[in-house]
């Protein structure tokens, strides 16, 4: 299983106990009631083979039902689709050959049952008032919503700082692109900041999943901070990838860099493949990102302009007549392009001043 598959799986499991779900509300009531509980999330042949005694029933999974049935000694087993309670007060007899480092019979049983059956199993500790989810030998502690909200809040503040910094370095890059003064270092700094934003976004999305119904506000705030960031990476690739000259510009390896590697621009340069190890070496963007800032200009026409003129600088130097030589550019659009470029040149002058 790849690291991404593993992450997606962990998220799916966390979502099972997200606040607001019937399961989670029931588990929270068990915590408050201080009785403890053991709940197998699903039903298959393996778990049926481990069940003895107790009661077989068919009751909807509601917080009340879960809480009441947890008052009995033994385990609760849910249906395969997790919508119903199919057994309660059951004694589970997993194979003791499954090694477990857990202490206490409830936790040891939960760990062994999840390994032997492949079904996630929850244990609520009566003494520690804590919910744990066991999945394939892994124990995931389910934090209280208040604790996750605190971390999410801190994460949002970090994301805000990071997106502001990203905006600063991309504006600076724009100024340099317009003046044709871009170095490997300038692009590497933007990629570094972009990757930092992606990492904190991923972390925050995990919190949203864990928070369930209570994560809506956090989700809205992430979306607001993300607006305008979605296609920076894609446009940078269009501008700087140059396979003919050995510039692979493949951003997929950035995710694999450790946090300490990410602060080192030479590591970024190596991961992405700029075709040179000299950070001061000059780069020549095609100009897609700058032209994408002209909102009325369709992408296809931008591509034709760049094909026709060869570089952003040539487009800056073009007259209204020159611009109209390109298919899809009439007088009105030529004027709009000239006005937008003039505005950009002026604001970039301020940026570098």
- Positions in the binding site for ligand ATP (CB under 6 A): 36, 38, 73-75, 91-92, 104-107, 109, 125-128
Backbone angles phi, psi at 40, to 5 degrees: -90, 125
CB of 117 to ligand ATP, least distance (A): 13
The residue whose Cβ lies closest to ligand ATP is 104
Within 10 angstroms of residue 297's Cβ, the number of other Cβ atoms is 18
CB of 42 to ligand ATP, least distance (A): 16
CB of 84 to ligand ATP, least distance (A): 19
Q: How far apart are CA 20 and CA 37, in angstroms?
A: 19
Choose among 83, 82, 94, 9: nearest CA to 41. 82
Choice between 111 and 177, CB closer to ligand ATP: 111
Choice between 75 and 187, CB closer to ligand ATP: 75
CA distances to 36, 289, 293 from 346, rounded to whole Å, are: 67, 17, 14
Choice between 75 and 175, CB closer to ligand ATP: 75
CB of 119 to ligand ATP, least distance (A): 14
Choice between 78 and 204, CB closer to ligand ATP: 78
Residue 173 · residue 190 · CB < 8 Å: yes
Choice between 126 and 237, CB closer to ligand ATP: 126
Choice between 64 and 105, CB closer to ligand ATP: 105
Choice between 121 and 170, CB closer to ligand ATP: 121
């Amino acid at each position: 299983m790849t690291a991404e598959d593993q992450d997606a799986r962990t998220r799916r499991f966390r979502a099972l106990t997200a606040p607001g779900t019937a399961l989670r509300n029931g588990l929270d009531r068990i915590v408050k009631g201080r009785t403890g509980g053991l709940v197998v999330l699903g039903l298959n042949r393996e778990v049926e083979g481990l069940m003895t005694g107790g009661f077989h029933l068919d009751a909807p999974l509601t917080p009340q039902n879960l809480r009441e049935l947890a008052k009995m000694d033994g385990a609760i087993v849910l249906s395969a689709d997790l919508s119903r309670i199919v057994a309660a007060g059951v004694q589970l007899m997993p194979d003791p050959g499954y090694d477990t480092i857990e202490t206490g019979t409830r936790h040891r049983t939960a760990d062994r049952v999840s390994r032997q059956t492949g079904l996630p199993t929850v244990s609520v500790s009566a003494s520690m008032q804590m919910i744990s989810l066991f999945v394939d030998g892994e124990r995931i502690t389910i934090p209280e919503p208040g604790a996750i909200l605190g971390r999410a809040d801190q994460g949002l503040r970090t994301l805000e700082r990071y997106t502001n910094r990203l905006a600063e370095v991309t504006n600076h890059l724009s100024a340099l692109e317009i003046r044709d003064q871009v170095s490997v270092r300038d692009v590497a700094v933007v990629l570094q900041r972009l990757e930092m934003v992606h990492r904190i976004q991923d972390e925050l999305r995990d919190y949203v999943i864990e928070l369930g119904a209570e994560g809506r506000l956090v989700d809205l705030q992430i979306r607001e901070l993300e607006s305008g960031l979605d296609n920076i990476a894609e446009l940078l690739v269009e501008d700087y990838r140059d396979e003919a000259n050995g510039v692979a510009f493949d951003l997929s390896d950035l995710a694999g860099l450790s946090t300490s590697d990410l602060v080192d621009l030479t590591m970024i340069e190596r991961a992405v493949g700029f075709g040179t190890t000299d950070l001061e070496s000059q780069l020549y963007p095609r100009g897609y990102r700058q032209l994408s800032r002209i909102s009325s200009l369709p992408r296809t026409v931008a591509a034709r302009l760049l094909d026709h003129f060869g570089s952003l600088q040539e487009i800056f130097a073009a007259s209204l007549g020159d611009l109209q030589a390109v298919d899809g550019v009439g007088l009105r659009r030529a004027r709009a392009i000239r006005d937008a470029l003039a505005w950009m040149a002026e604001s970039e002058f301020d940026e570098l001043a």
